Amino acid sequence: MNPAIKQALKFTNTYKEYKDAPIPIREAMCLKAQYPDLLKDIRDGDIYAGLGNRERIIYFGSVWWYSMPSYTPENQIAGKQGGYSFDFSAIHKLPQTDEERNVLADLTAFWKKECTTSKFYAKTDSRDGVGFLYANNLVRLVKRGLPGLVEDVTAMPDSDYKTGLHLALENVIDVFKYYQKQAEEKGRLDIAANLLANINHAPKTVAQGLQLILLYELLSHEMHFEVNRLDVALGDIYVQEIDSGALTEDQAVEQIRQFYSMINASGETAVCRLMMGGINRPNEVNADRFIMAALKAEQLHKQVIPQVSLRLYKGINPDLIKLAYDTINETNTFPTLYNDDNIIEGVAKTFDVSHDEAISYYPLGCGEYILAPKCPALLVAAWDVPKSLDKAIRNFKGNSYQELHQAVFKELQQQAEIYAKYHKLLIDTHNEQNTFLMASLLVDDCIKNGKPILDGGARYNGTCVMGQGFTNAAEGLLAIKKLVYESKQYTLEQVIKALDADFTGYEELQRALLTEPKYGNDNNEIDIAVNSLWRYMSDESKKAGKAVGLDFFTISSVNPGGYFMGFLMGATPDGRHKGMPYAIGNTPTAGMDKNGLTAL
């Protein structure tokens, strides 16, 4: 039998056995059932253990892109699942025998009712994803080590949650022992020694620290690595090893390069981040010395995964900035640079937190900010802004532009409220089925509060909706204002008919729409329109989030969702044809910036 199908059967039987057990216990036993089966062997040339196996059907995780329960060969929609995640495409692509086909048919029928996605879909008509993301406190992981985490959990008051955390840590240690034995059998005593050291105490060398971070990230994030403050976690250890002569800089660079290579082998393209730098770091000089080695490792690595990123600020070591620019020159892209002096102020305002709390910002996943490791982020809904505009103009019954403007903004307000309620329902559904033990161990306050990450454990609980098409919506609304209500060249009904026809037979109207002001040309009228739309949506989202008990509700526009949303959307009143991409992020629609780079 296919090993992936065999593992799925083992996992499912474990879930059934513990189906009525306390939620943390069931989850912990399922984690034990998926490891080490979901891991690959140590390869020749590796200096670390810990590779993920992409051949999986069912597993417990925070978030991953798996085909949703609505999957069919004709409708191949993959979406984010968190908690108990099942690949509903497996039955269409894996079975080679009647036995495998029958087993997968039974598994598919079972998990179509039991996976977290299905539990959520039973409560809502929405078909967005159900996962969440977070960043581990890697500084605490390295300083406490696995034995320290065990001590921290042991000190908690007795509860099923405490028992689940103990079992989860036991599973982590078992994985280290599994790889230790494998390393010894392969004659890789260096790897075995680092694994054993992590079982017995907190890391004392860079190699031990990187091994601990790599394997814990793999077990807690699967293919979605989020490596935050690596320089703070390992800076002191790095300097001690270098200054004592136990490690040369070249050796350290190679250790870090191989760490990158392991993440590259397991991680998913475009979502695996590695952040260093930033203001107010402890032992900043030591952390900067580690960054110098890490950037040199990136010059050798030259891969998209992980997305090495660096936080800059006034007063940062100028040698570090020069090396960062040199590294970008070598890699063409990385490190991605973030400006603390601007970002921290914006995060504090947007998230309603203090400056000191905002310092912990982290560009999770595609780059949406969270407060790491103080909160999870539910990044699972996509706000199609031109679709909101389209709905408003089609339902409009008034006569004036002022009335239309109010109707459009009312639609945006209602959509913000829908998404806020959606995310609150998602949190409640997760808490009915999952505790996310691996996340709880290294997200601030979960152990102190004695509660799971989404159920009062994390310091903050909020969400981020991925919005796209702001530019197109603002341009379309402005074009309607000027052509329908000011010059009166056309009626709103004519615009709607033109959209329905994808401008076939309405070419003159389309040309008129396209000649109206477009964002990116230093035109004050459209700049104000885009800003006004964005500001209103942000303000209303924040209000809607507070109303349902979220600490924050933000909108991001940083991923390629504008391409996919545009592909599914009809023509829009900015003159855009059906199926064409939206403008990505806060940018002009492609080709519409006509006045040069400085105007843009």
| pLDDT greater at residue 76 or residue 111 | 111
Position 269 scores a pLDDT of: 83
Is 443 in contact with 136 (CB distance < 8 Å)? yes
Question: Is 178 in the same domain as 307?
Answer: yes
Position 101 scores a pLDDT of: 96
Give the whole-angstrom CA distance, residue 554 versus residue 593.
Answer: 27
Question: Is 294 in the same domain as 406?
Answer: no
Question: Is 341 in the same domain as 275?
Answer: yes
Give the whole-angstrom CA distance, residue 478 versus residue 443.
Answer: 45
Question: Is 146 in the same domain as 90?
Answer: no
- Residue 281 placed within a domain: yes
pLDDT at 285 over 90: yes
Burial class (CB in 10 A: 0-12, 13-18, 19+), 76: exposed
pLDDT at 348 over 80: yes
Give the whole-angstrom CA distance, residue 510 versus residue 523.
Answer: 20
pLDDT at 438 over 80: yes
Position 318 scores a pLDDT of: 96
Q: Compute, in degrees rounded to 10, the torsion defined by CA atoms 81, 87, 88, 89.
A: 130
Beta pairing class for 382-384 and 377-378: unpaired
| pLDDT greater at residue 407 or residue 73 | 407
- Residue 581 placed within a domain: no
- Residue 365 placed within a domain: no
Q: 561 falls in which pLDDT band (50, 70, 90)?
A: confident
Position 366 scores a pLDDT of: 80
Question: Is 92 in the same domain as 166?
Answer: no
Radius of gyration of the chain (CA): 26
For residue 187, the one-letter residue type is G
- Residue 369 placed within a domain: no
- Rounded to the nearest integer, the mean pLDDT of the chain is 95
The lowest-confidence range among 439-443, 571-575, 581-585 is 581-585
pLDDT digits (tens, 9 = 90+) for 112-152: 999 999 999 999 988 888 888 899 999 999 999 999 999 99
Beta strands in 278-398 (DSSP E): 307-312, 336-339, 361-364, 368-371, 377-378, 382-384
For residue 519, the one-letter residue type is Y
Q: 175 falls in which pLDDT band (50, 70, 90)?
A: very high
Q: Which three-class secondary structure state does DSSP give residue 94?
A: coil
pLDDT at 330 over 80: yes
Question: Is 184 in the same domain as 286?
Answer: yes
Question: Is 185 in the same domain as 260?
Answer: yes
Position 75 scores a pLDDT of: 76
- Residue 128 placed within a domain: no
- Residue 131 placed within a domain: no
Position 132 scores a pLDDT of: 86
Choosing from 121, 148, 173, the residue where a domain stops is: 121
- Residue 453 placed within a domain: yes
Position 237 scores a pLDDT of: 98
Give the whole-angstrom CA distance, residue 398 versus residue 403.
Answer: 6
pLDDT digits (tens, 9 = 90+) for 81-109: 999 999 999 999 999 999 999 999 999 99
Choosing from 308, 328, 360, the residue where a domain stops is: 360
pLDDT at 595 over 90: yes
Give the whole-angstrom CA distance, residue 197 versus residue 335.
Answer: 31
Position 111 scores a pLDDT of: 97
Question: Is 26 in the same domain as 110?
Answer: yes
Question: Is 149 in the same domain as 43?
Answer: no
Position 378 scores a pLDDT of: 83
Token pair 């085909």 is found at 67
Burial class (CB in 10 A: 0-12, 13-18, 19+), 260: buried
Position 497 scores a pLDDT of: 98
Question: Is 342 in the same domain as 428?
Answer: no
| Domain coverage including residue 430 | 382-568
CA 326 to chain centre: 28
The lowest-confidence range among 71-85, 346-360, 413-427 is 71-85
Question: Is 9 in the same domain as 146?
Answer: no
The total domain count for the chain is 3
Give the whole-angstrom CA distance, residue 143 versus residue 385.
Answer: 45
Residue 132 has a CB neighbour count (10 Å cut-off) of: 27
Residue 341 has a CB neighbour count (10 Å cut-off) of: 11
- Residue 575 placed within a domain: no
Q: Compute, in degrees rounded to 10, the torsion defined by CA atoms 34, 35, 41, 45.
A: 120
Position 584 scores a pLDDT of: 86
DSSP H or E stretch at residue 403: helix 401-433
pLDDT at 380 over 80: no
pLDDT at 191 over 80: yes
Question: Is 335 in the same domain as 203?
Answer: yes
Give the whole-angstrom CA distance, residue 514 versus residue 512.
Answer: 5
